[in-house]
Structure formats: C-alpha cells, structure tokens
C-alpha cells in the first residue's frame, strides 16, 4: 500500500517537476507518449501478448481527433472521447479476429493489421491528407480554460497522464490483471480453472487500444497536426522499444522508457537529419546491453554501489 502511494507520488512529482527542468514542449511530449507506452505495457508486459501494431490505435485516435476537430467541427472534449471510443472499437474488431492466435502469429497479425491501417490512411487521402498528414487543428477552449497557453495545455495533459497511470495500474492489480498474468504463464490451466482467457485478453487489448487512442489524440492536440508517421509500423516498434527499455514489471517502467525515447529522439534529430539511423543503432546497442530494462540497470548500479560500499567499509 505504502509502496503504491510512493510510486504514485513519484509519478505526480515527475509530472510537476519535468516542465521546470526541461523545455515544456518536450515534457509535454513525454507525458503524452508515456500514456501510449503504459497502454502498450498492458498488452505486452501484463498480458504477454506481443503486439506489434499498437500504432494502429494511436493513429486511429490521432486521425479521429483531427477529423472531429476540423471537418467534424466538434469541440475538444467530444473529439477526445470519440478518439478513445474509436480506438477501443478498432481494437475490439481486430482483437476479435486475432486474439486466439498467440506468440509468433499474434505479432505478425498485429503488424499486418497495422500496415493495413497505414494503407487505408495513405489511400484515403481526401479525408486523411494522405502522406502530407492532416493540418489546421486548433485547440478549442475547454470550460473557460485557454489550452493555447502552453502551461495550461501541459496541466491538462498531466492530469490525464496521472489518471491513466492510476487506472492502468489498478487494472494491472485487478482480478482482470491477475487473470492476464496467470494466463501469460499457463493459459490452459487458467482456462480449465474456468476463466475466460480470451475474453480477458480481448478486454486488455481494447483497454490498451482506448488509452493508445487517448495518447494519439493528445499528441495531435500538442502539435496541432496529424503526421502519417503516427500510424506507421515504426511507431509500433518504437513503443515496444520503450516498454522493453523501461522494464515491464510495473507501469513506471514504460514512463521511463517514453522519457528516454522522446529525449533521445530530440537529441538525435538535432545532431543529424538521418536521426532514425542513430536511433536504430541505439536500439541495437540497448538490446545487447540492457537485457532487463532500465529498472534492471538501476538495480545493477545499486548493487555495484553497495558492493563498493561494502568494500570500503
């Protein structure tokens, strides 16, 4: 219980302190992408379903928000709600087709559906803007709050970020989360104990899709633009990378992973236009060095320090 409160306090502190120590636009992107990473951790880390198509839901949220705000003429809150519902529905449809597949199959199918979504967006350029993306998005005021103010918009995202953390962590600890984790170890036994394994997995997939949609929606509001990259498979790979480097054992890990990703992306893009090359090399480097995620790295550093202290003492 204490530990839970401590983790929550750390997450809130992070959201409050981040814009003070780093540029607020970067801090804002971090907390938005962190929602996406936590959502992905629900399927990958908790349920053990290796989804390589998460950008499909992030992108669905992004495009739905963009469309609702521009052509749809809706206000901000309904646009975000539509993004969440639409992404969850898409996850429900895709999930219903593929949830019975596991491991290798699941990975390939999520990727294939992601590519299909990308293709639809690319071809349907009259609505989506195709390769150029969707521009001209405005942040309409919400209940008297002027979201065009950077700090107000950050606070708006930060509240949703902390709420997402709390909800996703509670889901991880809920009976649903326990069924998912147990089914990851032994799906047959859980099924013979009378749990609906596929039902639980589909629910997790849809919840993950909903939060990915929320993240996509906020991302679009942040940049007032929907890039086609938001639905490309590279985005799906990136978020898997965030979850893996952050560590999958808690919802704090993906937040760290997202922070590292956004920070590195910014750094590499300053260094060289070909930043994706540096990023790819970094992924390869990390895969070989950090096998247990950042959390494992911290533990390792702590162990070394403790060993050092013991040595000196």
Partner 1 sequence: MNLVAAQIVNGLAIGMLYAVMALGLSIIKGLLNVPNFAHGALFAVGAYVCYTLSTIGAPFAVALIGAFSGAALLGFLIERFGIANLTGGSYLLQVLFLFGTALVIEQILVLIYGTTGVSLVPPAMLGGAMDLGFMFLPRYLVFCALVGAFSIVAVWLLIEKTRIGSSIRAGIERREMVQCLGIDIGTLLTLGFALGAGMAGLAGGIALPLLGANATSGNDMMAIAFVVLVLGGLGSLYGAVAAGILIGVAQSLTTLVAPSASTLLIYVIMTVVLLIGPKGLFGER
Does residue number 50 form part of the binding site for partner 1 (CB under 8 A)?
yes
Is the Cβ of residue 173 or residue 291 nearer to partner 1 in the bound state? 291
Would you tell me how many other CB atoms lie within 10 Å of the CB of residue 26? 15
Is the Cβ of residue 63 or residue 111 nearer to partner 1 in the bound state? 111
Q: Distance between CA 104 and CA 52 in Å, rounded?
A: 11
Two structure tokens written together for 141: 């005021």
Among the residue ranges 3-11, 185-193, 237-245, 262-270, the one whose residues contact partner 1 (CB under 8 A): 237-245
Chain centre to alpha carbon of residue 107: 17
Compute the least distance from the CB of residue 66 to partner 1, in Å.
22
Does residue number 274 form part of the binding site for partner 1 (CB under 8 A)?
yes
Mark 123-152 with x for binding to partner 1 (rule: CB under 8 A) and - for no binding.
x-----------------------------
Mark 69-98 with x for binding to partner 1 (rule: CB under 8 A) and - for no binding.
----------------------------xx
Q: Distance between CA 219 and CA 166 in Å, rounded?
A: 20
- The site for partner 1, by CB under 8 A, has a size of 39
Q: Distance between CA 102 and CA 287 in Å, rounded?
A: 23
Q: Are 120 and 231 in contact (CB under 8 A)?
A: no
- In angstroms, what is the C-alpha Rg of the chain? 20
Residue 87, C-beta contacts closer than 8 angstroms, at least 6 positions apart: 57, 58, 60, 61, 64, 209, 210, 212, 213, 214, 216
Q: Which of 197, 287, 305, 242 is nearest to 39 (CA)?
A: 242
Compute the least distance from the CB of residue 284 to partner 1, in Å.
4
Tell which one of 92, 130, 187, 237 touches partner 1 (CB under 8 A): 237
Q: Distance between CA 66 and CA 86 in Å, rounded?
A: 13
Is the Cβ of residue 124 or residue 298 nearer to partner 1 in the bound state? 124
Is the Cβ of residue 174 or residue 186 nearer to partner 1 in the bound state? 186
Interface ranges with partner 1 (CB under 8 A): 44, 50, 52, 97-98, 100-101, 103-105, 107-109, 111-113, 115-116, 119-120, 123, 233-234, 237, 240-241, 244, 274, 276-277, 279-284, 287-288, 291
């Amino acid at each position: 219980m204490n530990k839970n409160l401590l983790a929550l306090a750390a997450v809130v502190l992070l959201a409050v302190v981040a814009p003070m120590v780093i540029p607020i636009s970067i801090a804002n992107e971090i907390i938005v992408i962190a929602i996406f990473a936590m959502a992905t951790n629900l399927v990958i880390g908790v349920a053990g379903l290796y989804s390589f198509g998460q950008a499909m839901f992030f992108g669905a949220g992004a495009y739905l928000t963009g469309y609702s705000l521009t052509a749809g003429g809706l206000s901000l809150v309904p646009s975000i709600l539509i993004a969440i519902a639409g992404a969850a529905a898409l996850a429900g449809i895709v999930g219903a087709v593929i949830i019975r597949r596991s491991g290798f199959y699941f990975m390939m199918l999520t990727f294939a559906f992601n590519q299909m979504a990308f293709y639809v967006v690319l071809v349907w350029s009259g609505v989506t803007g195709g390769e150029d993306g969707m521009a001209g998005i405005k942040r309409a005021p919400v209940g008297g709050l002027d979201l065009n103010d950077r700090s107000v918009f950050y606070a708006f995202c930060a509240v949703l970020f902390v709420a997402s953390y709390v909800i996703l962590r509670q889901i991880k600890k809920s009976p649903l989360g326990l069924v998912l984790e147990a089914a990851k170890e032994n799906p047959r036994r859980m099924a013979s104990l009378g749990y609906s394994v596929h039902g639980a997995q589909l629910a997790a997939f849809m919840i993950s899709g909903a939060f990915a949609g929320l993240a996509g929606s906020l991302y679009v509001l942040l940049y007032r633009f929907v890039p086609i990259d938001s639905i490309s498979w590279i985005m799906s790979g990136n978020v898997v990378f965030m979850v893996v480097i952050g560590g999958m054992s808690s919802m704090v890990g993906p937040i760290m992973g997202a922070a590292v990703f956004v920070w590195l992306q910014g750094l590499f893009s300053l260094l060289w236009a070909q930043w994706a090359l540096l990023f790819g090399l970094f992924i390869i480097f990390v895969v070989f060095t950090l096998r247990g995620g950042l959390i494992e790295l911290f533990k390792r550093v702590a162990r070394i320090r403790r060993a050092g202290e013991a040595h000196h003492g």
